[in-house]
Chain A
Amino acid sequence: DADVTQTPRNRITKTGKRIMLECSQTKGHDRMYWYRQDPGLGLRLIYYSFDVKDINKGEISDGYSVSRQAQAKFSLSLESAIPNQTALYFCATSESRTGNTGELFFGEGSRLTVL
């Protein structure tokens, strides 16, 4: 079983709909992240959380919100989806440590298409 599990793996929705992408992890890591991947742009950070009570915006947080329900669960919501949010979304985790972020452990991705 995967250490970082994302659901759904694929979703097609319409403009204006609310969408939630869920992430759960069994690695016991405190830090969790949501990234977005677009062709030719690499991975961009949407939100991150260093523990259950800590939520921070990344570089492209507009149009997204997150909830850290437990140490193991971090969900990403699109309150009103728009076509330019069509992308591949990745959840990731890392250990707590001072200094650099260090190694990220990624889920297998959730492909979202907004029509």
Chain B
Amino acid sequence: DAGVTQSPTHLIKTRGQQVTLRCSPKSGHDTVSWYQQALGQGPQFIFQYYEEEERQRGNFPDRFSGHQFPNYSSELNVNALLLGDSALYLCASSQDFRPYEQYFGPGTRLTVT
């Protein structure tokens, strides 16, 4: 049984560019949450997707958008990249009827130069 997977592992982009990160949830999980973890800090919530809709959003600008597909996988898109967007982006999955257990993927390390 595969756990949460993310791609790519690492990514280097230039300021102003756009990036798409991908996440496949743990088998049986239907809810996907995205977090941004800057170096030396705790993860910060970006948004959560359930039933292909954004159910909850953290304090992130509209440059951050997402999508959930019918197979529950999800994408995170960031437009007009800033240097401050450099971070580890973590995807976490859970079951809606059992929200307490949330499992994290390995993350995507994004570097903006």
A binds B: no
